[in-house]
Amino acid sequence: MRLKDKVALITGGAAGIGKATAERFAEEGARVAIADVNDTAGQSVASTLGTEASFYKVNVANRSDVQKWIDAVMQRYGRIDVLVNNAGIVRDGMLVKIKDGELVKQMPEAEFDLVISINLKGVFNCTQAVAPVMMRQNSGVILNATSVVGLDGNFGQTNYVAAKAGVIGMTKVWARELGRSGIRVNAVAPGFTATEILSAMPEKVLDGMKARTPLGRLGNPRDIANAYLFLASDEAAFITGETLRVDGGLVVGT
């Protein structure tokens, strides 16, 4: 019970890695508060985690939404021990596409802004709202979802890569700023992981992902959840400012 009686907040907790993390944390004794925009799925997940779990409908890109969530969590639980900034979206597309010397397509500005607002500003919003609580406690753990593409780049993901690289940078800054208050800040960088997003992809594409991963398979959401669990626990008490790759050796295989 590595998180016994700890209060853990997880954004994007209604599905995928966020759901697996909520389940894993609850197994280890945490009282979990899930935030997501999917009301039905979020309520369903929370109902399986026991009476101490809760769900809140929150758009992490909206600072007012986030602050109302934090206030409600504090009213119910009285403290916040762990924040997992997991919420994110993808809107892939090439920066520009030229055919016969003519511009035929480019990444829409609105899709760039949307990904940045959720994947980067959302992390900023939630951390800034939670940090004062943890500073007053003189303890806490903040875990940010980045990606291997935030470290290595990826074709057709200008917006997503920009956000995930920014998360890595913010993680390093916050580790320095918040460390004196007993707060650890780390990031997790998953590789190809079998979430709902990948389930819609053609089998040929999935086979290509597996072929580029030396361990020969996609990651499971629970693989990533276990990394979050380790970093949230006292076993990682002297680790801060780091980005942990959980990618099956992907870089080696590319």
Query: Is-contact 83 126, C-beta < 8 A?
Result: yes
Q: How many residues does the chain have?
A: 254
Q: What span, in angstroms and rounded, lies between the C-alpha atoms of 141 and 234?
A: 10
Looking at 56, 77, 160, 228, which residue is catalytic?
160
Q: Is 210 helix (H, G, I), strand (E, B) or coil?
A: helix
SS3 217: coil
CA dihedral sign, ordered 47, 70, 163, 99: positive
Burial class (CB in 10 A: 0-12, 13-18, 19+), 224: buried
CA distances (Å), origin 45, targets 49, 176, 193, 221, 238:
7, 34, 20, 15, 32
Within 1-149, strands assigned E span 7-11, 31-36, 54-57, 82-85, 96-99, 102-106, 140-145
Pairing of strands 7-11, 183-190: unpaired
Q: Residue 220 carries which DSSP code?
A: P
Paired strand residues for 116? none
Please state whether beta strands 82-85 and 7-11 pair in parallel, antiparallel, or not at all (unpaired): parallel
Clarify whether 228 is annotated catalytic: no
DSSP 8-state symbol, 132: H
Residues designated as active site: 160
